[in-house]
Amino acid sequence: MDLLAVLAVDLLAVDAVAGVLLGSVPRELVFSPAWAGALSQKGFYSPDGGYTTISLIVFLAWTLVTSGWLAFRMGTERGDTTAYSTGDQA
């Protein structure tokens, strides 16, 4: 067997075990109204808390940095370096 087939079989086994384990957890422990309600009503994770503002700032910074990096790479990359180039290559 080649390596990809072995990895695919291993990943399927891991998925099956994870599904059985996650399916056996009682729903009351995962979706407990006691802690879910407390997180969403007050404090850092509430809609008007700090989490929303920090998440927005991180998202905008990530977008700006990634866009700038891609634009910089676009200006410095040569046109004949692509895999489908038909020009003379010495």
23-63 pLDDT, tens digit per residue, is 777 766 666 666 666 666 777 777 777 888 899 999 999 99
Instruction: Give 80's DSSP letter.
Output: G
Predicted local confidence at residue 58, as pLDDT = 95
Per-residue pLDDT band for 78 (boundaries 50, 70, 90) equals: low
Yes or no: say if 51 and 45 are a contact pair by the CB < 8 Å rule.
yes
The whole-model pTM stands at 0.42
| Side-chain-facing half-sphere of 13: CA atoms under 13 Å | 6
Residue with more model confidence, 15 or 3: 15
Exposed/middle/buried for residue 51 (C-beta within 10 Å: 0-12, 13-18, 19+): middle
